[in-house]
Amino acid sequence: DAKTTQPPSMDCAEGRAANLPCNHSTISGNEYVYWYRQIHSQGPQYIIHGLKNNETNEMASLIITEDRKSSTLILPHATLRDTAVYYCIVRGNNNDMRFGAGTRLTVKP
Amino acid sequence: GAVVSQHPSWVICKSGTSVKIECRSLDFQATTMFWYRQFPKQSLMLMATSNEGSKATYEQGVEKDKFLINHASLTLSTLTVTSAHPEDSSFYICSASAPGGGNTGELFFGEGSRLTVL
């Protein structure tokens, strides 16, 4: 079973920041939080991951709360091409990734 | 970045036949590969974990005799759907973990293979 909870859908205006929340209240101390996205009929695309510190790369920022029970993925300037299903995943020591339902983000002009 | 390739990207077969899907890591050696299945408008469901040179570990509810997984080399894993039926029609996706990454490294996903069983 997935260890994360995400809202089923969100809308965002083009050019604005998209903030996608994720709850992972049962996360263990050595489990990482990963974010992937999937555009229709394609394989998942890696976005970012982190353990406890906030992370930033060319695609997004990941904000993890101090207690690590939740996180937020931030797409700073959403474009129409960012419309996709975004998955927040807690990855354990056994290396596998189990997907939850994800959030369907729709970026609108 | 690392690339994982699947072949074929789509396949149509008759009920009762077997279909093989290949998953290759093109520029790295993958000791572990994962196979997922995705039905329309649903999330990815982990089917099995494939370790090079050993038997795959199947998730509960996945029939190992129906979904044969072979991971004979560090760059290739295959999934064979045996005696396929229409309910096996789905999007099959593989992923591979670069060596040494553990749970801290990126998991690279293939483009997926869409199977339609008539």
pLDDT above 70 (res B102):
no
Q: Residue B46 is encoded by which pair of tokens?
A: 């982990």
**Terminal Cα distance for chain B, rounded:** 37
* Chain A CB contacts of B49 below 8 Å: 94-96
CB crowding B85-99: b at 16 or more within 10 Å, else e: eeebbbbbbbbbbbe
Q: What is the mean pLDDT of residues B62-81?
A: 93
pLDDT at B114: 97
> What are the pLDDT digits (tens) for A1-51?
558 999 999 999 999 999 999 999 999 888 899 999 999 889 999 999 999
Q: What is the mean pLDDT of residues A47-62?
A: 94
User: B60 CB near a chain A CB, below 8 Å?
Assistant: no
Q: How far, in Å, CA of B84 to CA of A103, rounded?
A: 32
Q: What is the mean pLDDT of residues B60-76?
A: 93
Residue in B closest to A99 by C-alpha: B44
Q: Residue B93 is encoded by which pair of tokens?
A: 């996706």
* Percent of residues, chain A, with pLDDT higher than 70: 97
What region does A101 belong to: left with phi over 0, alpha with psi -120 to 50, or beta?
Answer: alpha
Least confident residue range of A40-49, A72-81, A90-99, B29-38: A90-99
> DSSP E strands: which ranges in A1-92?
9-13, 18-23, 32-38, 45-50, 55-56, 61-64, 70-75, 84-91
pLDDT at B39: 95
Q: How far, in Å, CA of B36 to CA of B57, rounded?
A: 13
Between the alpha carbon of residue A77 and those of residues A49, B8, B77, the distances in Å are: 19, 35, 38
Mean confidence (pLDDT) of chain B: 91
pLDDT above 60 (res B103):
no
Between A96 and B114, whose confidence is greater? B114
Q: How far, in Å, CA of B15 to CA of B88, rounded?
A: 10
Q: What is the mean pLDDT of residues B81-91?
A: 97
Chain A: closest CA distance from residue B104 (Å): 7
> What are the pLDDT digits (tens) for B8-44?
999 999 999 999 999 999 988 888 899 999 999 899 9
Q: CB–CB of B107 and A34 under 8 A?
A: yes
Q: CB–CB of A41 and B109 under 8 A?
A: no
CA angle A76, A80, A83 (to 5 degrees): 85
Q: Residue B17 is encoded by which pair of tokens?
A: 């036949």
> DSSP E strands: which ranges in B26-111?
32-38, 45-51, 57-58, 67-73, 76-81, 90-97, 107-109
Give the nearest partner residue to B109 out of A43, A92, A96, using CB atoms. A43
